[in-house]
Amino acid sequence: MIPFFDLKKQYISIQSQIDNATRRVYASGWFILGPETEAFENEFAQYIGAQHCIGVNSGTDALHLAIRALGIGAGDEIITVPNTAVATVSAIEMAGATPVLCDVRADSMTLDADSFASVITERTRAVIPVHLFGQAAELDAIIGIARQYKLAVIEDCAQAHGAKYQGQRVGTFGDVACFSFYPTKNLGAYGDAGAIVTNDARLADKVKLLRQYGWRARYESEISGVNTRLDELQAALLRVKLGHLDAWNAARRERATMYTELLPNKRVHPPIEMPYAEHVFHLYVAQSEVRDYLAAFLKEREIGTAIQYPTPIHLQPAYQHLAPEGSLPVSEKLAREILSLPLYPELALSDVRAVADAIREFES
Ligand SMILES: *Cc1c(COP(=O)(O)O)cnc(C)c1O
């Protein structure tokens, strides 16, 4: 049996470091916004290559605060894609703004700059390119258009910790970038956690205020804010895991390369790594016109697969008002054809071969 993923293996591989960090926090008697959070924020900013990092409670909250800190809200439109975690769209709505969807490219599966340009209106204030599955969107083209129309660029890096665009880590290209540390992400906490990264000191200051009731000093709200803090325990665990991130991403890339070399690429097509990208393979997403048969075939052989995401946002009940069916054809086709294969740093190479062998059997 080869499960789609297995988080227990990772814990076992770093158990003593994790257990020590946990005990350190328990013994400190300090649980919210303290030295571990501050240290993690500094270490993560340095890792990404940005000036500021502010820890928050989730990736969704990171997006929500980034949008609010940019002064975007009611009456404003923000453009993003329909093949993303619904969080990207719900964060836009949490901030009171209106989501507008554009299509994605068939090769990278990320935001299509031409489609983005075609849905800009007088009310558009920002674009959220999602670096989906671990690969950067076409940032030069997107940022070029955004600058032309004076739109803010909010990078959704929730699936792309450590991924690079033209040799530079994502999270440093837009005005602000948002990360999730949901347990299954490339850098995952043992609960909910997220962060905002930016080089803009004023924006960072505003996010910090928004994160805790608008307080600069305790019990005095300078602006109206919310409560979305990163806790000390998650920060301490994330510090441990950050030290392993590059090695884990390299292990993901090694396994992805193996899949791509071993798959016959007849009816099952491997994902494409764009020339500009260093992909970190949060997910290894193949495409096949006979996807449902393939998934059933692999399930019979006890190989776990998943579909991220089975229904584009505008075809889900809550969001059908955003765009009519048929209007975002690339995203809609992808939803019918994508299949994520098992991929995580601890996945045995023999299991990669076994999955590839099963797909070759399917192809023959
Ligand atoms: C996971 C994810 C989010 C949301 O992060 P949470 O921490 O679960 O709130 C946002 N965008 C994308 C692309 C994601 O994958």
Give tens-digit pLDDT for 41-83.
999 999 999 999 999 999 999 999 999 999 999 999 999 999 9
Identify the residues whose C-beta falls under 6 Å from ligand 1.
Answer: 58-60, 84-85, 87-88, 130, 156, 158-159, 180, 182, 192, 194
Percent of the chain at pLDDT > 70 equals: 100
Atom of ligand 1 nearest to the CA of 193: 7
Percent over 90 (pLDDT), the chain: 99
Which domain, by its residues, includes 337? 245-363
On whether residue 2 sits in a domain, the answer given is: no
Confidence of residue 243 (pLDDT cuts 50, 70, 90): very high
Per-residue pLDDT reduced to its tens digit, 264-279? 899 999 999 999 999 9
* Distance from residue 195's CA to the centre of ligand 1 (Å): 11
Shortest-distance atom of ligand 1 to CA 180: 7
State both tokens at 108: 């990278």
Q: How far is the CA of 330 from the centre of ligand 1 (A)?
A: 22
Q: Do 115 and 42 belong to one domain?
A: yes
**Of the residues 242, 261, 289, which one is the last residue of a structural domain?**
242
Q: Which atom of ligand 1 is nearest to the CA of 60?
A: 9
Give the distance (Å) from ligand 1 centre to CA of residue 34. Answer: 24
Q: Does residue 254 sit in the same domain as residue 236?
A: no
User: Which tokens is 29 given?
Assistant: 């008697």
Contacts of 26 (CB under 8 A, 6+ apart): none
Task: Supply the CATH number for residue 142's domain.
Answer: 3.40.640.10
Counting the structural domains of the chain, the total is 2
Of 225, 242, 259, the one marking the end of a domain is 242
Residues 225 and 282 in one domain: no
pLDDT at 32 > cutoff 90: yes
6 three-class SS: coil
Distance 80 CA to ligand 1 centre (A): 14
Give the Å distances, CA to CA, from 198 to 49, 51, 177, 219, 301.
Answer: 10, 6, 6, 27, 46
Statement to judge: residues 29 and 123 lie in one domain: yes
Query: For the domain that residue 264 is a member of, what is the CATH number?
Result: 3.90.1150.10
> Is the pTM higher than 0.85?
yes
Domain final position from 221, 242, 263: 242
The answer to whether residue 208 sits within a structural domain is yes
Half-sphere exposure of 111 (CA within 13 A, CB side): 31
pLDDT digits (tens, 9 = 90+) for 183-240: 999 999 999 999 999 999 999 999 999 999 999 999 999 999 999 999 999 999 999 9
Residues 42 and 176 in one domain: yes
pLDDT in tens, 36-48: 999 999 999 999 9
8 Å CB contact between 113 and 163: no
The verdict on residue 1 lying in a domain is: no
Greatest pairwise CA separation for the chain in angstroms? 69
CA of 181 to the centre of ligand 1 (A): 8
Same domain? 326 vs 200: no
204 and 264 together in one domain? no
Nearest CA to ligand 1 atom 6: 59
Give the mean model confidence (pLDDT) for residues 334-363. 97
**Number of other residues whose CB lies within 10 A of the CB of residue 160:** 32
Whether 140 is in a domain gets the answer: yes
Q: Are 123 and 235 in the same domain?
A: yes
Q: Kindly give the pairing relationship between strand 152-156 and strand 176-180.
A: parallel
Q: Do 348 and 220 belong to one domain?
A: no
51, with CB counted inside 10 A (0-12, 13-18, 19+), is middle
What letter does residue 127 receive in the DSSP assignment?
A: E
Mutation test residue for ligand 1: of 161, 182, 184, the one with most atoms within 8 Å of CB: 182
Residue among 110, 179, 180, 192 whose CB has most ligand 1 atoms within 8 A, to mutate: 180
85, 107 Cβ separation under 8 angstroms: no
- Asked if residue 72 and residue 26 are part of one domain, the reply reads yes
Distance from residue 324's CA to the centre of ligand 1 (Å): 24
Q: How many Å lie between the centroid of ligand 1 and the Cα of residue 261?
A: 30
The Cα 207–Cα 204 span in angstroms is: 5
